[in-house]
Amino acid sequence: MLTMAAALNAGLRKAMETDPKVLIMGEDVGTLGGVFRVTDTLQKDFGANRVLDTPLAESGIIGTAFGLALRGYRPVCEIQFDGFVYPAFDQIVSQVAKIHYRTQGKVKAPLTIRIPFGGGIGSVEHHSESPEAYFAHTAGLRVVAPSNPADAYQMIQQAITLEDPVIFFEPKRRYWDKAEVDLDAAPDLALDRARVVVPGTDATIACYGTMVATATAAAKIAADEGHSLEVIDLRSLAPIDFDTIETSVRKTGRLVVVHEAAGYVGLGAEIAARIGERCFYQLEAPVLRVCGFDIPYPPAKLEEHHLPDPDRILAAVDRTLAA
């Protein structure tokens, strides 16, 4: 049994053992092992030349890593908290995301940017955000979010091997969730494929990151009430595996999209539009969204009112089943 933090640590370790060009860099990732201890002991085992403690300057972290990626290295950057990524936003969307297109494929940027995201840990301002839509909207970036330790272990390794830059969102509320992780198993899914985690027939719930556990809990409650919900873990936010969602919706006829980021122009809106186009004649009800509210991320004491919970998900399920 491993926590998600320990599974990520194991995945990073294996990537570094496999390829000497893999570097880790970020604030406090070395001596401290990261705020969430995801990089614990890696500097001790691989040395300060491969696990680098950087200054408190996110634009400098990404800018330096971008240069290293252009020279053949595979940097893995840690942004300590989601709200700290914005100083590096220009580097990511203006340089990292565009270099492949700008050079007509001649130059690649195999750079992985790890970002703990989401709420639920009672942290202070700027330490809980859900900025995934910014990056999913940006052409040239892959955006992924594991929801459990086993996927975290495999997906971090898959991300590092890609020639594309990857924004790797880690649901910080799930860092301490434990599950079985086979350290010798090969990945069972490509990085851009979704996973059906709970099969069902009455309605589909599409979600990712922290919300997968929440939606699974809602599905268990619904089962006790006689309703069969299919829960899909998107895993990849750019690109999105619409084929898996479409297959499910053609079976269930109903779709609820869940994420804790704000609803306005969020991932749920894109999924609703695409599935509305692809499954118009199979949908028995409008696609519904259960999201965080369209406000700045609230103070810690108000998080529980902002974050979607099983009750809000089940209320949406009741609405779609009644339609």
Report pLDDT digits (tens) over 91-115. 999 999 999 999 999 999 999 999 9
The identity of residue 55, as a single letter, is P
Q: Which CATH number fits domain 195-322: 3.40.50.970, 3.30.300.130, 3.40.50.920, 3.90.1580.10?
A: 3.40.50.920
Whose tokens are 């050079």? That residue is 103
Confidence of residue 229 (pLDDT cuts 50, 70, 90): very high
| Overall pTM > 0.75 | yes
- Candidates 112, 149, 205; CA nearest to 8 is 149
**In the chain, where are the structural domains located?**
2-179, 195-322
Confidence of residue 295 (pLDDT cuts 50, 70, 90): very high
2-179 and 195-322 in the same fold: yes
Confidence of residue 126 (pLDDT cuts 50, 70, 90): confident
Of how many residues is the chain composed? 323
Q: Which residue in 100, 127, 259, 306 is the catalytic one?
A: 127
At residue 245, φ and ψ (nearest 5 deg) are -65, -45
Token code pair at residue 279:
């499954």
- In angstroms, the Cα distances linking 49 to 20, 22, 30, 106, 135 are 11, 11, 10, 28, 29
Q: pLDDT tens digit string along 31-49?
A: 999 999 999 999 999 999 9
Spatial contact of 260 and 228, defined as CB atoms under 8 Å apart: no
Residue 127 pLDDT greater than 90, yes or no: no
Confidence of residue 143 (pLDDT cuts 50, 70, 90): very high
Across 279-290, b (16+ Cβ under 10 Å) vs e yields beeebeeebbbb
- Candidates 224, 121, 120, 112; CA nearest to 168 is 112
Residue 29 pLDDT greater than 90, yes or no: yes
Is residue 127 annotated as part of the catalytic site, yes or no? yes
Position 120 scores a pLDDT of 84
Residue 323 pLDDT greater than 90, yes or no: no
Whose tokens are 């996110």? That residue is 58
Across 27-58, b (16+ Cβ under 10 Å) vs e yields bebbeebbbbebbeebbeebeeebbbebeeeb
At residue 23, φ and ψ (nearest 5 deg) are -120, 150
Position 121 scores a pLDDT of 83
Distance in angstroms (rounded) separating the CA atoms of residues 111 and 101: 15
Confidence of residue 122 (pLDDT cuts 50, 70, 90): confident
Spatial contact of 131 and 178, defined as CB atoms under 8 Å apart: no
Confidence of residue 125 (pLDDT cuts 50, 70, 90): confident
Distance in angstroms (rounded) separating the CA atoms of residues 293 and 9: 33
Position 301 scores a pLDDT of 86
DSSP string, 280-309: TTT-SS--EEEEE-SSSPPPGGGHHHHS--
At residue 154, φ and ψ (nearest 5 deg) are -75, -45
Average pLDDT in the chain: 96
Token code pair at residue 99:
């270099």
Instruction: Report the C-alpha dihedral over residues 143, 193, 68, 138, rounded to 10 degrees.
Output: -30
2-179, what's its fold? Rossmann fold (3.40.50)
